[in-house]
Amino acid sequence: SPGEVTMTRESFARAVSARDLGEHPHLAPVDHLHAMATTSNLGRALNRLRGEDNSVAPAVVALVAGKLAKSGKGRTIRRYSRALADLVAKQALAEWLDPHCRTCHGARELIAGDSRIICQSCAGTGVHRYTQAQRNEAIGSQHARHIPAALAQAHHIISVAYSSSQHQANHYLHGEE
């Protein structure tokens, strides 16, 4: 759930910056660090990136691109060259990190005087709809026919790794299913 994700991300951020990692009657910062350590490399890196640790961005791109480049083996999913996979991974991560509407900044509405108006740019969703032209510009128009499917795969890889890491960390900390 969104609250669960925020709670895990905030507790992880607090734990990373904590000075006292000692034992406490309740969960200590070290418990949050250990919980995140039990997740996948990509899941951990995505959590750090979402927590504004941009130093892990190249590693995250490499992990996502590696999965994209290998994902076609033995499956019906297309396999992409490493060069295209790197470009797609960068774009998918940019979209994942900055999903909000450029007009309302995710609020879904604008305030004009005493009135609230549904944002016309996003039709009240709060989400920026990346156009094919924006994606072609970022990835390269020579790859235009592969971009939609490749981005869908990359978004899936990111979503599964991130949500799995959140679930796994919460399960470790709270015994939740």
Per-residue pLDDT tens digits for 71-91: 655 444 566 788 899 999 999
* pLDDT of the residue at 43: 85
* Predicted confidence (pLDDT) at residue 128 exceeds the cutoff of 50: yes
Strand partners, 115: 112
Contact 44, 37 (CB under 8 A): yes
Collapse the DSSP code of 116 into the 3-class scheme (helix H, G, I; strand E, B; otherwise coil) and give the result.
Answer: strand
The separation between CA 151 and the C-alpha centre of its own chain, rounded to angstroms, equals: 13
Alpha-carbon span 84 to 166, nearest angstrom: 29
* pLDDT of the residue at 172: 67
DSSP H or E stretch at residue 115: strand 115-118
Better-predicted residue by pLDDT, 57 or 75: 57
Q: Which two tokens stand for residue 22?
A: 């000692």
pLDDT band at 27 (very low <50, low <70, confident <90, very high): low
Mean pLDDT for 122-150 is 93
Mean pLDDT for 24-50 is 69
Looking at every residue in the chain, the average pLDDT score rounds to: 80
Q: Which two tokens stand for residue 129?
A: 């709809």
pLDDT band at 30 (very low <50, low <70, confident <90, very high): low
0.75 cut: is pTM over it? no
Better-predicted residue by pLDDT, 104 or 10: 104
* pLDDT of the residue at 76: 43
* Predicted confidence (pLDDT) at residue 167 exceeds the cutoff of 50: yes
Alpha-carbon span 172 to 177, nearest angstrom: 10
Contact 61, 86 (CB under 8 A): yes
DSSP H or E stretch at residue 112: strand 109-112
* pLDDT of the residue at 127: 96
